[in-house]
Amino acid sequence: MKPQEIPLNVVYEDDQILVVDKPAGMLSHPTHREKSGTLLNGLTHHLNRNRIKNTDQNPFGNGSRQQTPGSAEMFHSPPLFSFIRPGLVHRLDRETSGLMVIAATAGAHRKLAGQFQRKLVTKRYFALVSGTVSGEAGGISAPIGRIAEEKRWTVIGSGKYAETRWRVIGRFADSTLLELEPITGRTNQLRIHCAHIGHPIVGDESRGGRSFTRLCLHSGYLRFRHPASNDFMEFNSDSVLPVFKSGLP
């Protein structure tokens, strides 16, 4: 992982975990096409900033010569210092902003991953959707699968079970602000489910949403147990709401 000095909104940090507020437009992690500019690149630099500052050499050894991530050379060359690698236990799509918890140790990664697998983590999102949603709260249960020929995920009978709970936060002319809680974690679940009930998220043009400068979907609430103390940790983020409301017609 290439460390990069990228401005990050770190809302909490200790020796086990970090909680960050990811901006819209940033990938959570590198892909085979994009190796830099991601949240993990920035976190790798952030966690090792003091070590990087105190050496003018490549942290993986062999002087300042660059090595290819994942190469045999990298794995067999001892690092010049103990390199902290951030551990991703969940992710947000590039277009989605908001809260994410990141592990700073292998032990924290293992325990946090276990909480996500056992569905012990509570996540809630703000979404500005098109149209007037009927009722004050409810649920969406519709299976999600991938149409291989079209290379897209959608509601499909042969898909996997998917459930989302929703609650109205605010009503506006031809738009509704929802709080969404994914009970399952399917690919693009919130975007797909909102479009499925006829209220696509503003900015999600591929699913019929009104055009806007960004996707109006934000991870605004996160609750989990600290991997070391086992205490409940709770975080809120609503700074994007004025931005969402600026997208009202």
Q: Give domain status of residue 216, yes or no.
A: yes
* Whether residue 72 has pLDDT greater than 50: no
Q: Cα angle vertex 196, ends 203, 137, to 5°?
A: 90
195-247 residue pLDDT tens: 999 999 999 999 999 999 999 999 999 999 999 999 999 999 998 999 898 86
Give strand ranges (E) for 71-230: 87-88, 97-103, 122-130, 137-141, 144-147, 152-155, 163-172, 175-182, 217-225
Cβ-Cβ contacts under 8 Å for 182 (sequence gap 6 or more): 123, 125, 163, 164, 189, 190
CA 241 to chain centre: 18
Quick check: 233 and 108 in contact, CB under 8 A? Answer: no
- Residue 141 belongs to domain spanning: 121-249
* Sole residue written with tokens 């959570």: 28
Residue 51's pLDDT band, with cuts at 50, 70 and 90, is confident
What integer best gives the mean pLDDT of the chain? 88
Q: Give domain status of residue 79, yes or no.
A: no
Name 87's bridge partners.
Answer: 103
Q: Give domain status of residue 156, yes or no.
A: yes
- Overall domain count for the chain: 1
Q: Give domain status of residue 211, yes or no.
A: yes
Structure tokens at 130: 């098109």
Q: Give domain status of residue 97, yes or no.
A: no
109-144 residue pLDDT tens: 999 999 999 999 999 999 999 999 999 999 999 999
* CATH code, domain with 149: 3.30.2350.10
- State yes or no: is 174 an active-site residue: no
Q: Give domain status of residue 51, yes or no.
A: no
Catalytic residue among 93, 174, 231, 238: 93
Name 235's bridge partners.
Answer: 222
Q: Give domain status of residue 98, yes or no.
A: no
| pLDDT, position 53 | 66
